[in-house]
Copies of this chain bind each other. A is one copy, B any other.
Amino acid sequence: MKSREIQLVRRPTGLPQPDDFKIVEVELPDLGDGEVLVQNVSLTVDPYMRGRMIDRRSYVPGFQLNETLTGGAIGKVVESRHSSYREGDFVESHLGWREGYVSSERGLRKLGELQAPASAYLGVLGMPGMTAYVGLLDVGELKEGETVFVSGAAGAVGSAVGQIAKIKNCTAVGSAGSVEKVKHLVEDLGFDHAFDYHDGHLERQILAGAPQGIDVYFDNVGGDHLQAALNCMRPNGRLPLCGAISQYNATEAVPGPNNLAIAIGSQLTLKGFIVSNYNQRREDFMKDMTEWVVSGRLKYRETVFEGIESMPEAFIGLFTGANTGKMIVNLT
């Protein structure tokens, strides 16, 4: 069997370009004992991958040029020489941007019976959903009745953050990048207030939805949003720092918030986190989130591209506002 795969051939400067990537076709090896052949059905592109395209020391090693990019994928076993895997089993891997692969059980997670479409396990029931869950409840220490502001609220993480806040009887305010997304947040997802950040006046917009101020600011974007949120924080507020998408493509250092000293008098806590360090909460997350998704209390939307060749476009779209909810690439 052949697999088409996406490789990074040039490190992006600023916004990634299609030419930074190339598609290659490889012949998959024959199965050895204990190995399975998997055909991917759903692939994910995520903002954090942009950081890995830079050649620098970080919490995860950078991508190498001319090697196939890695990342979350849901696939189906099509041939098995491993006693625990049968043809038709769904598996999650982190092998990423390829149509298929041969693997031992190392690095595979069996998904068991799916309770939602396969792609949901890359989004609301996967890494982005768990990021929202631990970021809000553990890092943000959300308490009943508090007010949450989340930026990038129409994204995979942000939309889950706002809805978890509502499930926890909190007020949810969100910012997004278009009128349609704002409408979606309020009408479909139950946010109490949402606004288009292109309209400016971030601080005034936040306070319109949170006149008493914010207890938790879930930061997906950094930059202006963080500065505005700092001005709106209530005493003892918490700011889980999850992403800085506004800066991922910056070619020069971006000035930070000029009002960080507010954190002193208001006793604010800014806390960066990476979801992989909260694996002890995985079981709670899967239990709660599956229940919320299956019961319809927590909704999710996907922006779907088709075919392995569309992965660069889908990835670039993360930074141009092309997605509402999780960005997914399905293979047929």
Point out residues on A near B: beta carbons under 8 Å.
51, 58-60, 222, 226-227, 235, 241-244, 247, 253-274, 277
Residues of B within 8 A of A269 (CB): 269-272
Residues of B within 8 A of A265 (CB): 51, 58-60, 272, 274
The distance in angstroms between the C-alpha atoms of A59 and B266, with both chains bound, is 7
Residues of B within 8 A of A270 (CB): 260, 263, 269-271
B235 with A261: CB separation less than 8 A: no
Residue of A254, A261, A262, A268 contacting most chain B CB atoms (<10 Å)? A261
B267 with A258: CB separation less than 8 A: no
Instruction: Contacts A235-B59, A265-B274 given; indicate if A222 touches B260 (C-beta within 8 A).
Output: yes
B59 with A261: CB separation less than 8 A: no
A258 with B254: CB separation less than 8 A: yes
B261 with A260: CB separation less than 8 A: no
Residues of B within 8 A of A257 (CB): 256, 260
CB < 8 Å: which of B227, B255, B267 contacts A272?
A: B267
The distance in angstroms between the C-alpha atoms of A261 and B250, with both chains bound, is 12
Q: Which 4 A-B pairs have the closest CB atoms?
A: A256-B256, A263-B272, A255-B255, A253-B258
B253 with A256: CB separation less than 8 A: no
The distance in angstroms between the C-alpha atoms of A202 and B239, with both chains bound, is 27
Residues of B within 8 A of A242 (CB): 264
The distance in angstroms between the C-alpha atoms of A269 and B277, with both chains bound, is 15
B244 with A261: CB separation less than 8 A: yes
